A = this chain, B = another copy of it.
């Protein structure tokens, strides 16, 4: 086949065997762009924890049900399949809830930090 051919896959298959652990899997990495599948089942971010990322993220819920919480402006966004959110760099957010009765499958795209703004000391 060589490196030049297409590589197929499916986002719904090969689900993690242990549903008690939230699963983060890299689908693709190219330079600073990273594509990730996340499988949650009743998982939520730890109490008081906020994601605060140097780069932008785009995340879509492909299957399941979830709620994201944002710090500023303070709001919650209920996610159903097909819903996506663009999350700017350093926009603090957390997973408030995911459905405990089914797998929620996310597709997350992590984008590079803006040039010269990668890190705030």
Contacts and interface: CB of A to CB of B under 8 A. Distances in A.
Q: Is the interface of A mostly helix, strand, loop or mixed?
A: strand
A111 B30 contact: yes
A100 to B, nearest CB: 22
A72 B9 CA distance: 18
B12 A82 contact: yes
A66 to B, nearest CB: 13
Given A30-B111, A35-B109, A88 B11 contact: no
Interface of A: 1, 3-13, 27-28, 30-31, 33, 35, 56, 58, 60, 62, 68, 70, 72-73, 75, 77, 80-88, 90-91, 93, 107, 109, 111-112
